[in-house]
Each structure stands twice: as C-alpha cells, then as structure tokens.
C-alpha cells in the first residue's frame, strides 16, 4: 500500500487554504470543512489565491481514507486530475481567481462515496505550476492511459502520489485545500 506523499501530509498540516474548492451549493474555504455528499457530486470549480497569470496549473484530488479512515488499505484513491488550468478574470472578494481549462480532465472527478459504515473521509486537492512541455496528453502518456479512456476504479485505488509527482516533474505544491465528507 502506498504511503501518503509529503505533498499530501503537508496539505493536512497547513494552517490556511490557498485553494478554494467550489461546488454548485457550497464553497470550501476552510481546511477540514464538512461537505455533504449531495453537495459534492458535480466536479468542483477551483480558485487559486494570487496565481501567476502567465502560468498553467495542474491539480490532483485524492481520498487517503479508503475504505475506512482507520484501515485505509485501498487508499489513497484518485478522485481527479486536471491539467492546463489557467487564471481567468479578476480576483473575487477573498482574493481568489477562477481556474479554467480548455482540455478534458485527465481523470474526471469521481464524487465522494465513502461506505455507509465508514467514518468521514478527507478529500485533498493539490495544485502545482504545470512544468513547461507538460500537457494533458503528456500526463496520459506517462500514466499509460489512452486519450478518451475512462479511468476506472482499478487505476484509481492505491494511487502512488509520490511516483506521479516524480514522473510528471512536479516541484512544490503552490496551493492546497481539503474537506471532509461522509
């Protein structure tokens, strides 16, 4: 079972969020905020505090607590990979700028679905500056995933985040946020 990467453990240790995770009916702006399952079914819109306008960003979302927080032998589970995210528009009242992408997600958002007998799960989002020369296509190739392929559960369980970061050439996380659901 892969252990949690330094990027994930650092996100849980952070004192403030620098990434707003916006669902249609709720915004996550506080670390560890409770989100109801029904509110997290649609893919979130991401907002970054003080992004560099000329940069692209890559975000990954994970559930490290599958299937049970006390016995997470299937975790972490990949919940999504978005590439080519760019800042769009002016900052909102809290200083966050919306991130948008013109490409299809490498791994589409999978909504939270912790088992009923499980305790709440944590869902962490990590954002990096996307390295030069890396695109959605590059990430798919590095993962040996085909264009348009639906990324099933078998490719999402026991996600090796550290290996992914090394393969893609990711440096330091520039923003992170997490919520609790279930």
Record: fold of 6-181: Phosphatidylethanolamine-binding Protein (3.90.280)
Q: What is the pLDDT of residue 67?
A: 87
Q: What is the pLDDT of residue 5?
A: 85
Q: What is the pLDDT of residue 139?
A: 97
Judging by beta carbons within 10 Å of its beta carbon (0-12, 13-18, 19+), is residue 90 exposed, middle or buried?
Answer: exposed
What digits encode the pLDDT tens for the residues 3-22?
A: 678 888 888 888 787 899 99
Dihedral sign of CA atoms 67, 153, 128, 102 in order? negative
Beta strands in 17-63, from DSSP E residues, in sequence order: 19-23, 26-28, 33-34, 45-49, 57-63
Where do the domains of the chain lie? Answer: 6-181
What digits encode the pLDDT tens for the residues 152-171?
A: 999 999 999 999 999 999 99
Distance (Å, whole) CA 48 – CA 59: 11
**For the chain, which ranges sit under pLDDT 50?**
1
Q: What is the pLDDT of residue 2?
A: 59
- Other C-beta atoms closer than 10 Å to the C-beta of 15 total 5
Distance (Å, whole) CA 75 – CA 114: 12
Strand 173-181 with 121-129, pairing: antiparallel
């Amino acid at each position: 079972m892969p252990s949690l990467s330094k990027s994930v453990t650092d996100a849980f240790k952070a004192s403030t969020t620098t990434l707003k995770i916006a669902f249609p009916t709720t915004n996550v702006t506080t670390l560890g905020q409770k989100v109801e399952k029904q509110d997290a079914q649609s893919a979130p819109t991401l907002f970054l505090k003080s992004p560099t306008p000329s940069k692209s960003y890559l975000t990954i979302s994970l559930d490290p607590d599958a299937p049970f927080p006390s016995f997470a032998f299937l975790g972490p589970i990949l919940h999504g990979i978005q590439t080519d995210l760019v800042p769009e528009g002016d900052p909102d009242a809290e200083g966050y700028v919306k991130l948008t992408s013109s490409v299809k997600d490498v791994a589409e958002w999978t909504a939270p679905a912790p088992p009923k007998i499980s305790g709440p799960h944590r869902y962490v989002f990590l954002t990096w500056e996307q390295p030069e020369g890396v695109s959605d296509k590059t990430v798919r190739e590095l993962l040996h995933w085909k264009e348009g392929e639906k990324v099933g559960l078998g490719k999402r369980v026991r996600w090796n985040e550290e290996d992914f970061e090394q393969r893609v050439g990711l440096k330091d996380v520039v923003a992170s946020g997490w919520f609790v659901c279930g």
